[in-house]
Chain A
Amino acid sequence: MSTLETMTDYVTATVGGQLFGLPIGRVQDVFVLDRLTRVPLATPEIAGVLNLRGRIVTAIDLRRRFGLPPDEVRKRMAIGIEHRGESYGLLIDTIGEVLNLPSSSREGNPVNLEPLFARMSAGVHRLEDRLMVVLDVDRVLDVGQHAEAA
């Protein structure tokens, strides 16, 4: 392994069967969704808000965000992140292990990637048996403001 190689830790998760990774530095915590309060009139990607140790967290449904059909998973997991001083939870199907990956296995987005997807992907890591999409957290969180107002 070359000394120039930079390694990055990723927290991995699956949504609709696809493996995703988030740079570990962006992840605050991982939690099981307890009580979610839906927010009327919000964009569909926003699953609701919840109380996480006294903070109000906005939950973003990644399935919705990726244009996938909803899933009947009861015990939803969420990855907690902070963005501009606010707390968000990204709803996922399952949480995976933390992977330490070299930048050499990372590629840009394939040109044929669906545009919706491509916008939120910061590249793809080739793992041995599958591909891991690196999430661009800022892009993922770019929801809501343009929503239809009441």
Chain B
Amino acid sequence: MNDKIANKSIRVHVDTLEHLMTMVSELVLTRNQLLEIVRRHEDSEFKAPLQRLSSVTAELQEGVMKTRMQQIGVAWQKLPRLLRDLSAELAKPIEFEMRGAETELDRQVLELIRDPLTHMVRNSADHGLEMPAVRRACGKPEKGTIGLSARHEGGHIVIEVSDDGAGLSTERIKATAIARGLATEAQIEKMSEAQIQRFIFAPGFSTAQKVTNVSGRGVGMDVVRSNIDEIGGTVDVKSVSGKGTTFIIKIPLTLAIVSALIVEAAGDRFAIPQLAVVELVRVRNNSEHKIERIKDAAVLRLRNKLLPLVHLKVLLKIDGGADCQAENGFIVVTQVGSQTFGIVVDAVFHTEEIVVKPMSSKLRHIPLFAGNTILGDGSVIMIIEPNGIAHSIGNVVIERDATAAGQEADRTDDRSGIESMLVFRAGSPQPRAVLLSLVTRLEEIDVRKIESSNGRSLVQYRGQLMPLIPVNDDVRLKSTGKQPLLVFSDEGRSMALVVDEIVDIVEQKLDIELLSEQPGVLGSALIRGQATEVIDVGHFLPLAFDDWHDWRERRVAAGRHRVLLVDDSQFFRDMLAPLLNAAGFSVICAASAEEALAVLRDGKRIEIVITDIEMPGMDGFELTSAVRRDPRTAAMPIIGLSSLLSAEAVERGRRVGLHDYVAKFDRQGLIAALKEQTADMIRAA
């Protein structure tokens, strides 16, 4: 058996793979160019074959990427030995636990992460764990535990280095931060514990040996951070005093191809890596989202926080870097580590998969660029390095963070239930709204790019054909200029709602006042004193894709009666939670079966569980069995949600103890099932 497996693999020189990768990158570029050309020609006969080429290229790209993948365990090989030696040297018994060594990532990334990881594990042993005598005194086992784990999450790999030591000393970090002039006492007073702990990553925090000894931890963490920054990753720390410290590293699976947002500043286009982009805000002088100034510093009020702004044009000193009054642009809200800031740009185009090409050695010294790339139309553009931008406005941001944290603390109490709503007009002057968290992106697309097929409108979007659905019968596609669209994406698929005008983003408590009978409308709510129709995105998804229900296994995801909603898709959680709220239930969400069990075990008063059936890992059936097994929750009503309503599935559901089984898009059905279960409860009581 083993012989057979051995015969199925061959050794290939890394150079061969690298070359293959380069060629595939070129192919991706050429494909993008072709797509761009076809986009300009209506009804081109190349469309269909190109679509095919496009998908083959995507598969090829994925295949070649796989060949470059290596198990992260390769980078861990030397760690057990290192720890054994350290254990002897430091006279600390250490238990080393590795999990997820088989998690794969690009070999190039692997090479770059090896040293920082080694450093961090060493740190945990050296500074994280206490001496055995101290541990015994604290009632902990003498043997300290260091954990190293890796797992995939989205297009990223998450690596955690943890120890069960004493945790970071916030007091000492405070003192050091003040001593090193990283923050003033007043600023620190307003910071949360997590913010203070993050100082260990601040440049210059631990350069001096003396400080290192005092801080007891954080040796070279700024170096680790800059290493991880370099590969487009992030690092964070969670520490509980007396319990231990966990470092969380998130890095992209590969460096060669990234998804980036294409923006324009001063007539030039730039790419901003999507990883760093949190959201887009459109600035209008007359709206709530206007830019305000504190002396020369521009800021934006965003959800009760002040967001420091920097204009890309000013940052890059284009046209002499004169500050422009272009207060009608877009703000790309960007997050780097714990820093959030807004990059002001003149225009936002689309998102594109770009092949990162290294900068010429003559340009590599510019910290604001991560590389350059060739776009579909053949032009070369610069890729913005978010870390570089964070550094260049760093000091300002840290100060703002402190103030913002203070404000946040004041307001957290009354913020529950506040939702951000995107207000738009479509077909009539009456305002309509949708939950902002559901909207993936706001787009304005040249109407000439809109194609028509079988009576449906489509547009090329991120290499796929994206269906355009009018919000209601009264809205018409514009005939010239730009068509505003609300793009919704879930699991790689996108659809867009056609609207007339995007009006504003409003933050308020969402009380949907009456449930509407009209399809596609959740109900109406008072937004800024005006009756506003809140649309139901869930209604439109099946309209966009006939096969939305059964497309792939819908790996998916709510009072006064407390409902636990379990669904792995953020999208569905966001969609169902407001609906259930509107129907009179109080909703708690869980993103996985494991999380749901934890919520139930916590003894939170949950009356009904709604669970998605198709989930990665533990699925809805297994969750139901687990809930039934626990005597405390054995009688819990559970409703299953699924896009697969086969007789067999329903039967299996009954066997494991589901009370009801509802189709995923059947809102009325779900509400009815909930009402029935709660009515039973009242009768029982």
Contacts and interface: CB of A to CB of B under 8 A. Distances in A.
A40 B316 contact: yes
Interface in A113-150: 141, 143-145, 147, 149-150
Contacts of A147: 365-366
Interface string A14-48: 00000000000000000000010111111100100
A51 B378 contact: yes
Contacts of A150: 315-317, 366-368, 388, 392
A42 B363 contact: yes
Nearest to A54: B26
A144 B362 contact: yes
A86 B360 CA distance: 7
A88 B360 CA distance: 9
Interface of B: 26, 29-30, 268, 315-318, 357, 360-363, 365-369, 372, 374, 378-382, 388, 392
Q: Which 9 A-B pairs have the closest CB atoms?
A: A144-B362, A40-B316, A58-B360, A37-B380, A49-B380, A41-B366, A51-B374, A51-B380, A40-B318
B19 to A, nearest CB: 15
A4 B370 CA distance: 52
6 contacts: A39-B382, A51-B374, A51-B379, A58-B362, A149-B366, A150-B315
Taking each of A35, A42, A51, which has the highest tally of chain B beta carbons within 10 Å of its own beta carbon? Answer: A51
Contact of A56 (B315, B318, B374, B388): B374
A86 B361 contact: yes
A40 B360 CA distance: 14
Contact of B365 (A54, A58, A144): A144
A75 interface: no
Nearest to B318: A40
Contact of A149 (B365, B372, B381): B365
Contacts of B30: 54
A36 B360 CA distance: 15
Contacts of B365: 144-145, 147, 149
Interface string A90-106: 00000000000000000
A50 interface: yes
B361 A84 contact: yes
A36 to B, nearest CB: 9
A149 B268 contact: no
A50 B381 CA distance: 9
B360 A56 contact: yes
Contacts of A37: 268, 372, 379-382
Chain B CB within 10 A, most for which of A50, A56, A147: A56
Name the residue among B268, B357, B365, B392 with the largest chain A CB count within 10 angstroms.
B365
A46 to B, nearest CB: 6
B617 to A, nearest CB: 42
- Chain A interface mostly helix, strand, loop or mixed? loop
B378 A149 contact: no
B362 A141 contact: yes
A132 B443 CA distance: 56
Residue among B317, B366, B382 with most chain A CB within 10 A:
B366
A90 B108 CA distance: 33
A49 B360 contact: yes
Contacts of A43: 362
B268 A41 contact: no
Contacts of A54: 26, 29-30, 374
A146 to B, nearest CB: 8
Nearest to A144: B362
A92 to B, nearest CB: 18
Interface of chain B, helix or strand or loop or mixed? mixed
A40 B318 CA distance: 6
A148 B357 CA distance: 23
Given A41-B368, A56-B372, A58-B362, A35 B316 contact: no
A40, A56, A150 interface centre (most CB from chain B within 10 Å): A40
Given A41-B316, A147-B365, A150-B392, 20 more contacts: A37-B379, A37-B380, A37-B382, A39-B363, A40-B268, A40-B318, A40-B366, A40-B368, A40-B382, A42-B363, A51-B380, A54-B374, A58-B362, A86-B360, A88-B360, A144-B361, A149-B365, A150-B317, A150-B366, A150-B368
A33 to B, nearest CB: 12
A27 B379 CA distance: 24
Nearest to B381: A37
Contact of B357 (A41, A56, A149): A56
Nearest to A50: B380
A149 B392 CA distance: 11
A43 B361 CA distance: 13
B301 to A, nearest CB: 28
A144 B363 CA distance: 6
Interface in A36-74: 37-43, 46, 49-51, 54, 56, 58
A40 B270 CA distance: 11
A141 B362 CA distance: 9
Contacts of B368: 40-41, 150
A38 B26 CA distance: 23
A58 B268 contact: no
Interface centre among B362, B379, B388 (most CB of A within 10 A): B362
A134 B315 CA distance: 39
Contacts of A50: 380
A80 to B, nearest CB: 14
A88 B363 CA distance: 12
B78 to A, nearest CB: 32
A56 B380 contact: yes
A96 to B, nearest CB: 26
A53 to B, nearest CB: 10
A52 B316 CA distance: 25
Contact of B367 (A49, A141, A145, A149): A149
Contacts of B374: 51, 54, 56
Contacts of B362: 42-43, 46, 58, 141, 143-145
A106 B369 CA distance: 43
Nearest to B389: A150
Contacts of B29: 54
Contacts of B388: 150
User: Considering residues A38, A41, A86, which has the most beta carbons from chain B within 10 angstroms of its beta carbon?
Assistant: A41
Nearest to B30: A54
Contacts of A42: 362-363, 366
B374 to A, nearest CB: 5
A139 B72 CA distance: 44
Contacts of B381: 37
A88 B30 CA distance: 22
A95 B374 CA distance: 27
Contacts of A145: 361-362, 365
A88 B369 CA distance: 19
Nearest to A40: B316
Contacts of B380: 35, 37, 49-51, 56
B322 to A, nearest CB: 13
Q: Among A39, A43, A54, find the residue whose CB has the most chain B CB atoms closer than 10 A.
A: A39
Contact of B268 (A38, A56, A84, A144): A38
B312 to A, nearest CB: 9
A50 B363 CA distance: 14
Given A35-B379, A51-B379, A56-B380, A40 B317 contact: yes
Contacts of A49: 360, 363, 372, 380
A16 to B, nearest CB: 22
A149 B30 CA distance: 34
